[in-house]
Structure 1
Amino acid sequence: MSNSPSTRLTLYDIASRPPVESTCFAPNPWKARFALNFKALPYRTIWVSVPDIPTLRSETLRLPPTRFFADGSPYDTLPILHDPNVTPSPSTQDVDSTSDPENHSLRGVLIGDSFDIATHLETQYPLSGTGCLFPPIKDLLAPPSTIEHTTSPIPLSEIRAQSPHVQYSQFNNQVDALFTAHVPFMAYYMPMPLDPSTADATKAVFLRRAGASSWEDFRLDEETREAMKMSLRDALGVHLVGLLRRDESGPFVLGERATYADFIVGAWLKMIERTVPGEWEEMRKWHGGIFGDLLDALEKFAGVM
């Protein structure tokens, strides 16, 4: 374990349209970015187009998949973190000499899941940055079976049952389920943040995953779309507002102290802000502005390196 790394880390994130710093929108990479910035660790970002992610993971980095579709095929996605400062262990993925097209002499470990990335950062750099990513939080989880688990073809984050931070892992799964169930209200507008040079190929990937034939299949009529948006408002009120209001000293779950729980929620809010910015201005005011306040407070951890 170290207080700070001697060599900067590398975060692989999904490419969006320029300027990428103000358009990157994928929630799981945002969880990793918040955690890296919270720990004040030096890192760079490599931007990868969606069609290139399978090649990056399976051929370039040779990183085993961490999530799978219902048919057992790998769900190739980002983020990935490369940490050259750590000696590989049986639980981490070694980086061989051909791992990175920009640097063929890389060594270290690769982590291919946002929750595992946060766990790695806390384990390796416990004294860095702002503090502990996973402090104890009483009653972090919603009551069993109260979160709607979507039938979306996109697999949710796995629960790390053996993790020392299993409560956070379960919360991650619950929050992912809550927001994923409501992604259809903004799915049609996702091309807005995409990189124009690869937008058509990226849309083809999304269509294939969803079993759709045309992007118009994602368009909802206004009544259905508004109902889904209101469903999200109500779900946030049931499952998250009480948690965020428990400590009124600040906008975070623990008041003035940010934790990985805040990053999990904030990452999805960031996706909404970037994908449907006009509607985010309405949504940020829901429930007395509690979610707008949370995302505003997370800006100090939102730098894109």
Structure 2
Amino acid sequence: MTQLITLYDIPAAKPNYPWSPNTWRTRFALNFKGLPYTTVWVEYPDIEPTMKKIGAKPTAKNPDGSDQYTVPVIVDPNHPVDGSPVVISDSDDIATYLDEKYPELPTLFPAGTKALQIIYSQSFMEKVFYPPVMILLGEALPVFNPPSQKYFRETREKAFGKKMEELSPRGPGREEPLKKAKEGLEAISAALEKSGVTEASWLTGNTPVYADFATAAALIAIKRCAEEHIWDHIKSASGGRWERFLDRVEEEYGRID
């Protein structure tokens, strides 16, 4: 019997309301493969000490050169190394690991598609998620619990040299990034339709792949971190195609364990 995998994620003020695009990639992947897992919720200031304690690798460098620790991280007791569970950091690396260790389950990266999926996923982030990211940063605080609110405010204000309330543009400066995100969605929709990828299909055919989940993860982060009217603007792109896509992914693969 497959033992529970542990997924480390950041909690929200609302119970069972994950919001991070990175951890949603992994959550969708675990649900798609049907792997049993449990979630350990870690507040922002506790991520580094917790990840160090469980032996997770850093995923980046801070501006001062120190190691940066992030989530998602999984701990998998089913394929131990030297008698210890395997600890994997970073959503893309986790997806690769899951395919390698559970080849009998539905695959996230069908043969020959991994590079193209990663390129597509990065392009989606650049065209859709990054343009309004300052709006999201400026409006994200109410999503978090108090310990994460304090940490998020302090670290982002230090990084950007502004108060959180000043990060989210207002007036005409607010419309331009939203316009870019919507145009990005419409351009991607047009390219998919031209390639024969209709609403009834997934990116590579009749079964979803990792890039489908990366796309849904970006959309759900916008939906949950921004004010409602921001999501209303985004979801109206392409005649509502992307809202329907997200609804479909959430319904089929959005379980929270």
| Structure 1 residue aligned with 2:87 | 110
Q: What SS does the aligned partner of 1:29 have?
A: helix
C-alpha displacement of 1:48: 0.4
In the alignment, the residues of structure 1 paired with residue 239 and residue 201 of structure 2 have an alpha-carbon distance, to the nearest angstrom, of 12
Match of residue 243, structure 1, among 192, 196, 210:
192
Structure 2: which 5+ runs fail to align? none
Does residue 133 in structure 1 map to residue 126 in structure 2? Answer: no
C-alpha displacement of 1:226: 1.1
| Structure 2 residue aligned with 1:8 | 4
In the alignment, the residues of structure 1 paired with residue 126 and residue 190 of structure 2 have an alpha-carbon distance, to the nearest angstrom, of 16
Structure 1: which 5+ runs fail to align? 89-93, 96-106, 139-164
User: Closer, same or farther in 2 for the Cα pair 1:137/1:275, shift >3 Å?
Assistant: farther
Match of residue 31, structure 2, among 31, 37, 51:
37
Deviations 1:254-278 (A, max 9, x none): 3542111111111000001101233
In the alignment, the residues of structure 1 paired with residue 190 and residue 216 of structure 2 have an alpha-carbon distance, to the nearest angstrom, of 13
| Structure 2 residue aligned with 1:193 | 143
Deviations 1:65-109 (A, max 9, x none): 122245533332110000011133xxxxx78xxxxxxxxxxx310
Match of residue 175, structure 1, among 124, 140, 159:
124
In the alignment, the residues of structure 1 paired with residue 220 and residue 24 of structure 2 have an alpha-carbon distance, to the nearest angstrom, of 8
Stretch moving more, 213-222 or 44-53? 213-222
- 1:241 and 1:290 in contact (8 A); partners too: no
For 1:57-206, what aligned pairs fall within 5 Å after superposition? 57-58=51-52, 60-69=53-62, 71-88=64-81, 107-128=84-105, 131-135=106-110, 165-178=114-127, 179-206=129-156
For 1:41-56, what aligned pairs fall within 5 Å after superposition? 41-56=35-50
C-alpha displacement of 1:288: 1.6
User: Closer, same or farther in 2 for the Cα pair 1:283/1:211, shift >3 Å?
Assistant: closer
The one-letter code matched in structure 2 to 1:108 is P
- 2:181 and 2:234 in contact (8 A); partners too: no
Deviations 1:133-157 (A, max 9, x none): 112588xxxxxxxxxxxxxxxxxxx
User: Closer, same or farther in 2 for the Cα pair 1:110/1:238, shift >3 Å?
Assistant: same
- 2:118 and 2:211 in contact (8 A); partners too: no
Q: How many residues align?
A: 253
Coordinate RMSD, CA, aligned: 2.3
In the alignment, the residues of structure 1 paired with residue 122 and residue 230 of structure 2 have an alpha-carbon distance, to the nearest angstrom, of 25
Question: Higher strand fraction: Structure 1 or Structure 2?
Answer: 2
- 1:248 and 1:255 in contact (8 A); partners too: no
In the alignment, the residues of structure 1 paired with residue 161 and residue 190 of structure 2 have an alpha-carbon distance, to the nearest angstrom, of 34
In the alignment, the residues of structure 2 paired with residue 73 and residue 243 of structure 1 have an alpha-carbon distance, to the nearest angstrom, of 41
Normalising by structure 1, what TM-score? 0.75
| Structure 2 residue aligned with 1:232 | 181
Deviations 1:150-190 (A, max 9, x none): xxxxxxxxxxxxxxx33323333333333224301222111
Q: What SS does the aligned partner of 1:270 have?
A: helix
Q: What SS does the aligned partner of 1:83 have?
A: strand
Question: Higher helix fraction: Structure 1 or Structure 2?
Answer: 2
In the alignment, the residues of structure 1 paired with residue 166 and residue 230 of structure 2 have an alpha-carbon distance, to the nearest angstrom, of 21
C-alpha displacement of 1:283: 1.9
User: Closer, same or farther in 2 for the Cα pair 1:253/1:35, shift >3 Å?
Assistant: same
- 1:65 and 1:74 in contact (8 A); partners too: yes
| Structure 2 residue aligned with 1:91 | none
- 1:185 and 1:229 in contact (8 A); partners too: no
| Structure 1 residue aligned with 2:246 | 295
| Structure 2 residue aligned with 1:155 | none
C-alpha displacement of 1:198: 3.7
| Structure 2 residue aligned with 1:100 | none
C-alpha displacement of 1:8: 0.6
Normalising by structure 2, what TM-score? 0.88
- 2:72 and 2:90 in contact (8 A); partners too: yes
Does residue 285 in structure 1 map to residue 240 in structure 2? Answer: no
Q: What SS does the aligned partner of 2:39 have?
A: strand
Q: What SS does the aligned partner of 1:279 have?
A: helix
User: Closer, same or farther in 2 for the Cα pair 1:244/1:269, shift >3 Å?
Assistant: farther
% same residue? 29
C-alpha displacement of 1:24: 1.6
User: Closer, same or farther in 2 for the Cα pair 1:74/1:113, shift >3 Å?
Assistant: same
